[in-house]
Amino acid sequence: MRRRGRPRDRRALASLALLAGAVLAGCGTGTIWRSGKQPPPPPMPTDLVDITTVDPTILVEMRYATANNFTGQVIYPVGKCYLRRDIADHLHKVQQSLQQRGLGLKVWDCYRPFSVQEKLWAIKPDTRYVARPVEHDGIPVEGSKHNRGAAVDVTLVDSSGTEEPMPTDFDDFSERAHRNVLRGTNKKALRNMRILEVAMVREGFEPLPTEWWHFDGPGWDKYALSNAPLR
């Protein structure tokens, strides 16, 4: 009886040894498997700041935190405007100059996670209006300046916070939103567009030709693309 039991005991011990080795190998590489668990989201860049902490007089209406945008969907979980600190400081100076004229800024979009850029591209794959998101081995390598926290979509408001007339609403993908289209544009709207553009350019912002509301921040290329979620 004892002799017949030994082969089975040896096989059981061998199986246990293999299992123990696999567990130890996993521990050695730092790998811990938990069924159903997702890796934690990437942290937000430490120099991204909420614009209201830099200048609380700048109005914030993040359109992608509402359904009032070209997708008709709520895209952002929160309506907060995050920008790189240096970009936010430059926007604060724009606000100060406009306030001398009884005007101010309202922001419609700021930092945008790379995953959201992918959603927008899927809906509107047109590089005139949406930057094409590209990644290699899961790392973003091309995208929008918004994904860097270095671009803003803004409009003008009066001293009471009421939006001033502009050529179009936000995310108008027609030629009416282009900066060089003058025909059929209301004179007051055209004037307001120029006032906003001049104030932004003086602080180093670069206007996008196809969207009167979009401006790339000074030194945007020194910031990395990010997919950290808004919170």
pLDDT in tens, 28-67: 333 333 445 666 777 778 899 999 999 999 999 999 999 9
Evaluate if residue 185 carries a pLDDT over 90.
Answer: no
Per domain, the residue ranges of the chain are: 48-222
Give residue 135's pLDDT: 85
Q: Which of 98-102, 136-140, 141-145 has the lowest mean pLDDT?
A: 136-140
Rounded mean pLDDT, 2-17? 46
Higher-confidence residue of 213 and 33: namely: 213
Instruction: Tell me what pLDDT residue 209 has.
Output: 95
Largest CA-CA distance found in the chain, in angstroms, rounded: 103
Mean local confidence (pLDDT), 167-173: 94
pLDDT score at 129: 87
What's the pLDDT band for 15 if we cut at 50, 70, 90?
Answer: very low
CATH architecture observed for domain 48-222: 2-Layer Sandwich (3.30)
Least confident span in 6-20, 30-44, 109-123, 170-184: 6-20
Which phi and psi (to 5°) does residue 124 adopt? -130, 75
